[in-house]
């Protein structure tokens, strides 16, 4: 299964956050890497996405889109920073 990257999350996350989240940095809870979300590895797992750390491959977050509802699970992100 081929993957995408965090650029594709700009639209879905715009439903939840006011700032562009592809330029936000996130810290991986597993390995501590801090990177912009655009560099995360994203698997299209319709009806949602599985987002993994580009360093250690652990799950950073999952998104599930059901109609107009979006559910985001941030299990593997210990800090998000924008600006």
Partner 1 sequence: MGTVESTSTLTPSGRSITVSLPGWPGNIAGQHVDVRLTAPDGYQAVRSYSIASVGPAELVELAVDKLPTGEVSPYLVDDVQPGDMLELRGPLGGWFVWKPEQTGPVQLIAGGSGVVPLVSMVRSHTASGSDAPFRMLYSVRTPDDVFYREELAGSGVQVDYVYTRAVPAGWPTGPGRLTKDRLAASVFPVSETPAFFVCGPTAFVEAVATWLVELGYPAETIKTERFGG
| Site of interaction with partner 1 (CB under 8 A) | 2-8, 10-11, 14, 20, 22-23, 36, 38-39, 44, 65, 67
CA distance 77 to 73: 9
In angstroms, give the least distance from the CB of 30 to partner 1: 20
Smaller CB separation from partner 1, 20 or 75: 20
Q: How far is the CB of 37 from partner 1 (least distance, A)?
A: 8
Using CA atoms, how far apart are residues 41 and 50, in angstroms rounded to an integer? 8
């Amino acid at each position: 299964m081929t993957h995408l990257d965090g650029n594709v999350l700009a639209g879905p996350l715009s439903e939840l956050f006011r700032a562009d989240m592809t330029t936000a940095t996130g810290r991986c809870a597993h390995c501590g890497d801090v990177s912009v979300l655009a560099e995360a590895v994203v698997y299209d797992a319709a009806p949602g996405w599985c987002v993994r750390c580009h360093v250690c491959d652990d799950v950073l977050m999952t998104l599930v889109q059901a109609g107009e509802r979006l559910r985001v699970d941030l299990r593997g992100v210990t800090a998000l920073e924008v600006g």
